[in-house]
Amino acid sequence: MTVRSIYRRAGLLLLVALVSILPVACGGDDGGNTDLSTYPEFEVADPLGICTVSGQGGITGCAYNFNVAELIPGNSVGKVFRIVNTGTAVLTIRGVNLAYQAEAGEDPPAFDAYVTDSAMRDTLASGGTLRIAPSGSSGSDPTELNVTVKYTKYDDDKNRTATLTFLTDAYNAQDGTINVALGTVVGVPRISVSPELVVFERVGKGTEKTQRLNILNTGSMDLMIDKFYLSGTQVYSLIVDGVEYPISTETIEGIELSPPMVVPPQQTTYMTVKFKPENEDPASAELKLMSNDPTKAEGLIIAIAGNEGLPCIRVEPDPVHFGAKKINQTAVFPVEIGPCLNSETALEITGLKITAGQDLYGIDFAMSGIAEPTAEAPLIVPAGEAITLQLTFTPVEVSAKDVNDQIILSEGTLLIENNSFENNKEVLMDGAGVEIECPTAVIKCAEGSDVIF
């Protein structure tokens, strides 16, 4: 095992013993200062989250693994560790050392490391210390220290480890040192989803539909999904492990999954997207999944769309008032049915039925010039067009009157089954039976005659 100080002078790599130092009191070089209102604090700003903060505020368990699964033997991969001072006093660094036991035949060693800035590197080489000013402060002292760690892959299956040690007076150091365990992993998680775009084509009024979003790990190590974001029209929700998350402020800001969803290599899991529209308007949303897939560090985004291009139904008039009609005679009333005037999508009618008042009301398909539509043989009405449906009313008795001597109308319902948001469109009808149908007054004036009001 060798321990190397990470600096270079005149192109030579100097080997030194790892030196233990006594903890220095917080606040600087003068060991008599015990004022905890000012103290230096060591933090690894990049790669973020590789260390654990203990209950006493100390840094422990720092670890970073190089993913070498796709690295060609003989090639190298590097990572810059960015160290900052989040305390309120100057942080001093007395040494940056790499401890690594090279395997036989390694030339160069698989792990190498050095202070990135040449001036800082020379300061350590001459036995000096580095001063790191608190983040955001101004002055001559730098506010960060960069250390480059490089790994060279060899043509074997061995996992290698090393330790990067910082000698520092940081209050959160353990006995004056902070260690970062370095290693390698030969696997990598890869996240993919199916479908890549979640589309709800036609969901009608008062109904809801769900779609399964399959999540596949095509990599060679466990995929962990620990957070998701869901935003968009508030008619969607995401169901994860039986828990439903409707779109809200919380889902927009992000939901932490604890414990995370774990997908083993070449395995799948799923989430469920639910859509419950409130009107015929198109609705969209965006789901972002956060995972440990290094190629998706910013998250995997899945677009969600519903009722895009959904047709709109127009019925005129609605409701239908037949008025007073002579008993035992059939009255006909034309009703126009088609897509809404601003719709660009054809209306598909799969059923025309009288569902209430069948003994009085009917549909004259022959007079309408159409065949009765079915799901197997729908009636297609193109955008900008309409059909005229001839409805019939045949009263068989004189309608009764209420206590106010008002005629009680007979009611019926026309059901239009179609592919619009109102996929079961109901049109109310009413009429009354009378013995003598009231004549309609028509005024005719000879040409040139004056009509005086």
Comparison of pLDDT for 239 and 307, the residue scoring more: 239
Mean residue pLDDT across the chain = 86
Query: What is the pLDDT, as a whole number, of residue 186?
Result: 73
pLDDT at 158: 79
Confidence at 86, pLDDT banded by 50, 70, 90: very high
pLDDT, average across residues 157-174: 91
Query: How far is 375 from 172, CA to CA, in rounded Å?
Result: 72
SS3 category, 297: coil
* Mean pLDDT value of segment 36-41: 80
- Indicate whether 440 pLDDT > 80: no
**What pLDDT, on the 0 to 100 scale, is given for residue 341?**
82
Strand ranges, E, within 218-291: 223-232, 236-240, 243-246, 255-263, 268-275, 283-291
| Residue range 245-266, pLDDT digits in tens | 999 999 999 999 999 999 998 8
Mean pLDDT of 58-81: 88
Residue 414's pLDDT is what?
97
pLDDT higher than 90, residue 22? no
Q: What phi, psi does 41 have (nearest 5°)?
A: -135, 125
Joined tokens for residue 32: 């008599």
- Return the pLDDT at 204: 80
Distances (CA, A) of 34 to 29, 86, 203, 254: 12, 18, 69, 41
Give the pLDDT of residue 221.
82
Average pLDDT for 413-431:
92
pLDDT at 129 over 90: yes
User: Tokens standing for 255?
Assistant: 């939901």
Nearest to 98 by CA among 60, 137, 124, 72: 124
Do 191-306 and 313-434 agree at the fold level? yes
- Has residue 150 got a pLDDT over 50? yes
Can you tell me the distance from the alpha carbon of 181 to that of 200, in angstroms, rounded to the nearest whole number?
48
pLDDT digits (tens, 9 = 90+) for 281-297: 888 899 999 999 888 88
Is the pTM higher than 0.75?
no
Report helix, strand or coil for 126.
coil
End-to-end, the C-alpha distance of the chain in Å comes to: 117
Sorting pLDDT into bands at 50, 70 and 90, what band is 99?
very high
Instruction: Among 1.10.10.10, 2.60.40.10, 3.40.50.300, 3.30.499.10, name the CATH number for the domain at 2-185.
Output: 2.60.40.10
pLDDT score at 237: 96
Which position has the higher pLDDT, 343 or 146? Answer: 146
What residue segments make up the domains of the chain, in order of their start? 2-185, 191-306, 313-434
Which residue from 368, 354, 370, 280 is spatially nearest to 320, judged by alpha carbons?
A: 354
- Compute φ and ψ for 368, nearest 5 degrees: -75, -20
316-339 residue pLDDT tens: 999 999 999 999 999 999 999 999
Sign (positive/negative) of CA torsion 139, 144, 145, 146? negative
pLDDT score recorded for residue 433? 94
Phi, psi at residue 237, to the nearest 5°?
-150, 160
When the candidates are 2.60.40.10, 1.10.490.10, 2.10.109.10, 3.40.50.300, the CATH number that belongs to 191-306 is 2.60.40.10
Give the max Cα distance, the chain. Answer: 124
CB 258 within 8 A of CB 241: no
- For domain 313-434, give its CATH number from 3.40.50.720, 1.10.10.10, 2.60.40.10, 3.30.365.10: 2.60.40.10
Please, which residues have CB within 8 angstroms of residue 270's CB and are 6 or more apart in sequence? 212, 213, 214, 215
Rounded average pLDDT over 194-209: 86
Q: Which residues contact 440 (CB under 8 A, 6 or more apart)?
A: none
pLDDT of residue 438: 65
Q: Where are the alpha helices (DSSP H) in 233-317?
A: 249-253
Q: Is the pLDDT of residue 449 over 90?
A: no
Of the candidates 400, 401, 398, 408, the one whose C-alpha atom is nearest the C-alpha of residue 435 is 398
Positive or negative: CA dihedral 67, 68, 69, 75 = positive
